[in-house]
Structure 1
Amino acid sequence: MAVLVPVAVMFVLGLWGLDRDGMWRDEAATFQVARRSLPQIWRLLHRVDAVHGLYYLLMHGVLAVHPGEVLLRLPSVCGAAAAAGLVAALGTRLCRPRVGLWAGLLYAVTPMVGHYAQEGRSYALVAAGVAGATLLLVRAAGGGRWWAYGVVLAVTCVLHEFAVLVLPAHACTLALARVPGRVWRGWACAAGAVAVVLLPLVLVSRGQAEQVAWLTPPDGRSVERLLRQFAGPSWAVLGPYLVLMALAVRKSGAPHGVSPAGVALPLLLVPPAVLMVVSRVSPLYDERYVLYSLAGAPLLAAAGVERVAGMFRRPAGRATAIVRSGSPHTDRPAVRVPLPSTPPRPVPDAAGVAVRERRRISVPRIRPVPRRPSPGRRHVGALVGVLLVCGVLVVQFPLLRADRRAANRPDDLAAVSAAVGRTVRPGDPVLFLPSLERRSALAYPAGFRGVRDLALDVSAAEGGTLYGQEVGPRELRRRLGGLEYVWVVAEEYALRPSWTPWNATDRAKLAALDEEFVTRAEYVHRGVTLRLYVRREGVRGGGRTAADRT
C-alpha cells in the first residue's frame, strides 16, 4: 500500500492534461528522430545527440505503435510513476511504511516532477533508474548482490550520461554508514563496470559538445531556483520543507546500516553540486540534468515528519521481556514478564564497603520487547502525514494546472505550423532563420505542405542531421535572385541587429534580406516570427543596382 498509492497518484497526475496540443522544440526532436529508420537513427548519433541515443531507440519502438503526442509522453508518465513508487520503497526500507508513503506522495505532487512527467524526453525515466539503483544500493549494502545495482545504473547512465554523478553520492552514503571493506569492494566493482560501459558514450558525446554551447555558468540564482523546484516555489511550502529536512538530518541510526539522511542528503546535494562546480569552467549545468536528485528532498522531509511524530509519542511504559525456558527448540510458548523496576540493594563486602549486588536472573534467555503503538494509532499517524501532503498539493495545485497548457513550454511548434498553413500558399518560398527553426516543419509538416524550402539541400533524415543540410551562401543568393517575395520563419533573437550567426548560410540569409528585401507583413507568436519580405524597388539579380548604391 505504501508503494502502490504514490504510484497511482503520480500516474493520475501524469495523465491529467497529457493530450495538450503542441510539442515544444525538445519534444519535436524526439518525435522526428524516433520516427526515422534504425539506420538513419544510427547515422544521426554519429554526428549529434549521441547522449540521447538509447532513448531514441526506445521511442522508435513506442512511436511505431502510433505516432502521436500522447504516446510520445506516456513513457515519461510511467517513469515518473515508477520513480514515485521507488522513493516510497526507499522510505519504507530505511524507516517504516508510513514514511515511505509520505515520501512517495511528496515526490508525486512536486511540480517539477509533474512537468517532466509530461515531456517527451528521457529525464523522468532517468529519475526512475537512479531511484531504483539507490534502492538496490541499500539492499546490497545489507548483504544483497551487486550485479543488479550495476546493471540498473549502467542502463540509466547510457540513457543519460549525467546520471553517473550519482556514483559519488552513493559513495558518500556508504562512507556515512561506515560499511565494512567487503561492501566497498562490491560497490567499487559495480561502479567500475558502469564506468567501462559508459566510456564509449562519453568519448563520442565530447565531440558533440557544441550542442550545449547555449548553456551558461550557474550562479547563486541557479542554486535558489533549483532549491525552489526541488522543495517548493513558495515559502508556504519551502519553509516547512527545509525545517523538516533539517530535523531528518539530525536523526541517526537505522535498521539496515544506512539512515534515511545518509541516503537522501548525498543524493540531493552531490550531483547538482558536482555539475555546478564543473560548469563554472565548462558550462554543462541545466536543472533537468539533475532531476533525479529531487528524490532526496521528499525522503528527508518525510523522515523529518516521522521525527516530529516521535517527539509527541507517549512513553512506552514499563518494559517487559520475553522469557524462554528450556531448549530453544522447545514447544512451550514464550511468556511476557515484567522486569524489576527497583535498583539492586547495596550489600557490604568483606571489608565493610557497600557495593551493589549483582542482579541474578534464573531464566536463561531474556529479550526486551518494545511496546509498539496499536494498529489504530499507526493508521492515524499515516493519515495525518497524508493530510499534510494534501495541503502541499492544494498550495501547488495552480502550478500543476498551469503546467498542463502548451503555453507553459518555451515554444509551441504546432501554433507556428498552423500560422504558416493559414498564411503561406502552396509554392511560396520559405526561409528558416536560423536553420534549426526548420523543426516546426519537421514536427508538424501539414502547415508547410507544398511550400518551397529555399535553403534546404539534403533532408534531415537522409543527411543524418537534426534539421537538414543547407546550401552554401553562393547557391542561396542564386535561388533568391529571381524572387519577388519570400516568407521567413525566424526565432525572435535572429531578427535582432545584435545577433551574428556562426553559420555562413545564415549570415547570407540576413545579408540578402537586409540588402534586397523589405518587410511587408509580420506574425509573432511566443518567440517565433513569421515575416513576409518583398523585394525592394530597383533591386534585381541578388544585389543592389547602381542607383541604390549611390
Structure 2
Amino acid sequence: MVVKRPQVAVAVLVPVLVMFGIGLWGIDRGGMWRDEAVTFQVARRSLPQIWQLLHSVDAVHGLYYLLMHPVLAVHPGEVALRLPSLCAAAATAGLVAALGARLARPRVGLWAGLLYAVTPMAGHFAQEGRSYALVAAGVAASTLLLARAVTADADGDGGGGQGGSGGGGRGGDQEDAPVGRLARHARVVGWCAYGGVVAVTVLLHEFAVLVLIAHAATLALARMPRRVWRDWACAAGAVLLVLLPLALISSGQAEQVAWLRPPGGGTVERLLRSFTGPTMLVLGPYLLLIALALRHPFTPPARRGELSVPTVALPLLLLPPAVLIVVSRHWPLYDDRYVLYALAGAPLLAAAGAERLVLAARRAGLARCETEGLMRGSGGAPDSAPDSDPALVRGVRVPYAATLVGVLAITLAFVSQLPVLREDRDPARRPDNLAVVSAAAAQRMSPGDPVLFLPSLGRRSALAYPKGFQGTRDIALEEPAPVSGTLYGRETGPDELRRRLAGLDRVWVVAEPYALKSAWFPSEPTERVKLTVVGEEFVPRAEFVRKGSILRLYVRRAPTM
C-alpha cells in the first residue's frame, strides 16, 4: 500500500511497533511444545526429505515447512523458530490499521491496529512456531487487496471505450484510449494480486479458504455490480484450482485431525472472549462498541458499490468461524487457531463504533456551540472569540483529542490484560514443554541406557532436544525420522522388539500420560508389545512427571520361586 498522508503512515506504523514489542516480550520462554517441535525438526531436514514426508503426513503444513527451512538453516533456535510468526503478527496489525484507514479514516485504522496488537490471542500466536500468524497476515493482506481491487474496478469502468461525445471526435478517442488501457491494466493487476495472496494463504493452511465466503458476503452487502463479481469469481476460481491438489492429498491424511472433537456449548463464548478480551472490563465495552458499529448493519453505503467497515469486518469476523463450527458438528475440524485470521474483524468493528461515538459527541458539541452563539447574538455579545471554534476544546483540536482518548482507552485495556499476557509467556501454559523432558533425561540417564518411547510420537522430545538423550539407545527405532520420511521414525516389528527387550534388566520409558492408562489400547502391534512386555516383565522403580510427559525407569521383575 502506498502511503500518501503522514496520518496514515503513523496509523499503520504505530500498531506494527506495538505488536512487535508485545510479541518480542518473552519470546524465548525456554522450551518448545509438541507442535513447535514438529516445525523445528521437519524444517531442518533437507528439501528432498521434507518432500518425502509430505507424501505421507502433514501436507497441509508443507509450504510452511519449506518457508521455515532457510530460516532455521541460518540459526536454528527457539527465537528463530518464532520470529516469522512475530513479524507476521506485526504485519497483520499494520494491515488491519491500513484497512481501517482506507475504509474510514486514519484514527479508525490506528485504533483497530492497536486493538489487534493488545489482544492476548494475537500475542499468543505471535510466539508460536506454526503457520497461523502467517495465515492471519495473508488474510488481512488479501482483504486490503480486495478493497483496492474493487476501487480499481470502479475507476476503470468504461475508461477507454468512451468517445469524445459533444465535440471530442477522433482526437478525444485517441486521448482517452491510453487512460482506458491503464485503468484496465490496474484492474487486472489488482485482482491478480488479490488472487495470488489468497492462493499463497490457503496453501499455508487450507482452512483459510473460508475467507472467500467472507469476501463474497462483503461484495453482496456492498451491492457490487456484476463486473466486480465476475472479476472476483475469476480470482476465487483460480484459488480453488490451486488448492485442489492439496485438498486431495490432505484428505488422505485425515487421521492428523482425529484428535478433534465436535464443538461444545461453550465454544462460541470462548472464541468471543479470545477475539475481544478474556475479562469483563474489556469484553463489555468491546461488545458495546461493536454494537454501535452495527446499529444499522445493512444500511446501504453512501454510493452503490462502496465498501465500509461493517461490510468488510462483519463477514470476516462471523462467517469463517461459523462455517467451521457448523461443519464440525458432524465432521470435527474446528480449533480456534484455525480461524485466528477472523480476529481482524473484531477490532475493525470496535474502532468503527468508537468513531460513531466521537462523531455523535462532536455533533452534540456543534449544536451546543450554535445554541450558545445564537444566545450571544441575540444579546448583542460578540461571537467571534478565539475559543468559539467548535473544532477546538481548550486549544486542542477535537480530532486529535479524540484520537488520544481512544489510544488511552486501548492502553488501559492493555494494562488490564497484562496478567493474561504475562501468564501466556509461562511455558507451563502450553500443553507440554519438551525442553524440560530432555533436561530430566540428561539428569537421570547414563550413556548406553535403553529408552523406549510410548507411543512412538513420544520421541519428539529427543528429536527437538537431542542433547538430553545423547548416548542413550532407542530400543524400538528401526529407521530415523528424516530417512524414513515420517515424523517420528519407523520402529521395528513386534517380534524383533520382544527380542531386544528380552536382554534388558532395566529400561527408561518416555510416555504420554494416556499411554500408561489401562483404557488405552493401541492399534499398532509394536505399541501393544511395548505395553505387554513392560507391564508383565518389568516394575517401575523411579518416575519423573511433567505436564504432557512421563519419564519412568522400569527394572526387570525378580524371578518367582
Letter in 2 for 1:56: Y
- The correspondence of residues 230-379 of structure 1 with structure 2, limited to 5 A, is 230-251=275-296, 252=299, 253=301, 257-314=306-363, 373=391, 376-379=397-400
Give the conservation status (yes or no) of the 8 Å contact 2:433–2:548: no
- Taking the aligned partners of 1:147 and 1:389, their CA distance within structure 2 comes to 36
1:96 to 2:141 alignment? no
- Taking the aligned partners of 1:452 and 1:317, their CA distance within structure 2 comes to 82
Which residue does 1:187 correspond to in 2? 232
Give 1:503 deviation, angstroms: 2.0
1:204 to 2:249 alignment? yes
Give 1:52 deviation, angstroms: 0.5
1:214 to 2:223 alignment? no
- Could you say what secondary structure the match of 2:101 adopts? helix
- Taking the aligned partners of 1:500 and 1:225, their CA distance within structure 2 comes to 32
Letter in 2 for 1:296: G
Given candidates 45, 53, 56, the residue that maps to 2:54 is 45
1:225 to 2:270 alignment? yes
- TM-score (ref. length: structure 1): 0.87
- Taking the aligned partners of 1:392 and 1:432, their CA distance within structure 2 comes to 45
Give the conservation status (yes or no) of the 8 Å contact 2:145–2:194: yes
Give 1:527 deviation, angstroms: 2.6
- Could you say what secondary structure the match of 2:363 adopts? coil
* Paired residue total: 488
- Taking the aligned partners of 1:224 and 1:264, their CA distance within structure 2 comes to 19
- The correspondence of residues 172-183 of structure 1 with structure 2, limited to 5 A, is 172-183=217-228
Give 1:372 deviation, angstroms: 9.5
1:417 to 2:438 alignment? yes
Given candidates 527, 538, 544, the residue that maps to 2:548 is 527
- Taking the aligned partners of 1:402 and 1:282, their CA distance within structure 2 comes to 33
- Select between 481-490 and 144-153 the one with higher mean Cα deviation: 144-153
Letter in 2 for 1:420: A
- The correspondence of residues 378-527 of structure 1 with structure 2, limited to 5 A, is 378-527=399-548
- Taking the aligned partners of 1:73 and 1:372, their CA distance within structure 2 comes to 49
The change in CA–CA distance for 1:372 and 1:200 in structure 2 (over 3 A counts) is farther
- Could you say what secondary structure the match of 1:312 adopts? helix
Higher helix proportion: 2
- Taking the aligned partners of 1:451 and 1:391, their CA distance within structure 2 comes to 52
Q: Which has the larger radius of gyration?
A: 1
Give 1:133 deviation, angstroms: 0.3
Give the conservation status (yes or no) of the 8 Å contact 2:125–2:132: yes
- Taking the aligned partners of 2:150 and 2:549, their CA distance within structure 1 comes to 52
Identical amino acids, percent of aligned pairs? 69
- Taking the aligned partners of 2:314 and 2:324, their CA distance within structure 1 comes to 16
- Select between 256-265 and 436-445 the one with higher mean Cα deviation: 256-265
Letter in 2 for 1:265: L
Give 1:158 deviation, angstroms: 0.5
Give 1:376 deviation, angstroms: 2.0
Give the conservation status (yes or no) of the 8 Å contact 1:94–1:254: no
- Could you say what secondary structure the match of 2:130 adopts? coil
Give the conservation status (yes or no) of the 8 Å contact 2:260–2:334: yes
1:170 to 2:215 alignment? yes
- Taking the aligned partners of 1:71 and 1:254, their CA distance within structure 2 comes to 47
Letter in 2 for 1:436: L
Give the conservation status (yes or no) of the 8 Å contact 1:157–1:164: yes
1:138 to 2:147 alignment? yes
- The correspondence of residues 17-32 of structure 1 with structure 2, limited to 5 A, is 17-32=26-41
- Could you say what secondary structure the match of 2:401 adopts? helix
Letter in 2 for 1:477: R
Where does the alignment leave 5 or more consecutive residues of structure 2 unmatched? 1-9, 153-186, 369-388
- Could you say what secondary structure the match of 1:299 adopts? helix
Instruction: Output the aligned Cα RMSD.
Output: 1.6
1:83 to 2:101 alignment? no
- Taking the aligned partners of 1:498 and 1:208, their CA distance within structure 2 comes to 25
1:279-320 deviation digits (Å, cap 9, x = unpaired):
1111111100000000000001110111111221136579xx
Letter in 1 for 2:24: L
Give 1:373 deviation, angstroms: 4.2
Which residue does 1:333 correspond to in 2? none
- Taking the aligned partners of 1:37 and 1:314, their CA distance within structure 2 comes to 64
- Could you say what secondary structure the match of 1:524 adopts? strand
Which residue does 2:21 correspond to in 1? 12
- Taking the aligned partners of 2:349 and 2:453, their CA distance within structure 1 comes to 48
Give 1:254 deviation, angstroms: 5.5
- Could you say what secondary structure the match of 1:401 adopts? helix
- The correspondence of residues 65-84 of structure 1 with structure 2, limited to 5 A, is 65-84=74-93
- Select between 414-423 and 372-381 the one with higher mean Cα deviation: 372-381
- Could you say what secondary structure the match of 2:417 adopts? helix
- Taking the aligned partners of 1:502 and 1:222, their CA distance within structure 2 comes to 31
- Taking the aligned partners of 2:104 and 2:63, their CA distance within structure 1 comes to 35
- Taking the aligned partners of 1:272 and 1:416, their CA distance within structure 2 comes to 35
- Could you say what secondary structure the match of 1:382 adopts? helix
Letter in 2 for 1:503: E
